[in-house]
Amino acid sequence: MTTLRLQKYLSQAGICSRRKAEEYIGAGLVLVNGKKATIGQSVDDELDKITLKNEEIKLIQTNVYYKLNKPY
């Protein structure tokens, strides 16, 4: 259960920058659970349904592993 500010959530999802996310939220294009979002609103990525222009947004969580060979 991770709570993030909505602007950061949209940015991490790869949708837009934080500033552009604020513009989308201010224009009423972003909905959280079917209601208009507000700037600075916190969202839970597991519980809340976030939509932008009627398309659901989900965070893509990938793990990146690096293996280093560092001989002496």
Q: Domain 3-55 classified CATH 3.10.290.10?
A: yes
- pLDDT for the residue 55: 93
Residue ranges covered by each domain of the chain: 3-55
pLDDT tens, the chain, 72 aa long:
578 999 999 999 999 999 999 999 999 999 999 999 999 999 998 899 999 999 999 887 778 899 999 888
What is the pLDDT, as a whole number, of residue 1? Answer: 57
Total-model pTM: 0.77
- CB < 8 Å & 24+ apart, contacts of 30-34: 30/6, 32/6
Q: Contacts by 23-28 with C-beta closer than 8 Å and gap 24+?
A: 24/52
pLDDT for 59: 85
Predicted confidence at residue 52, as pLDDT, reads: 94
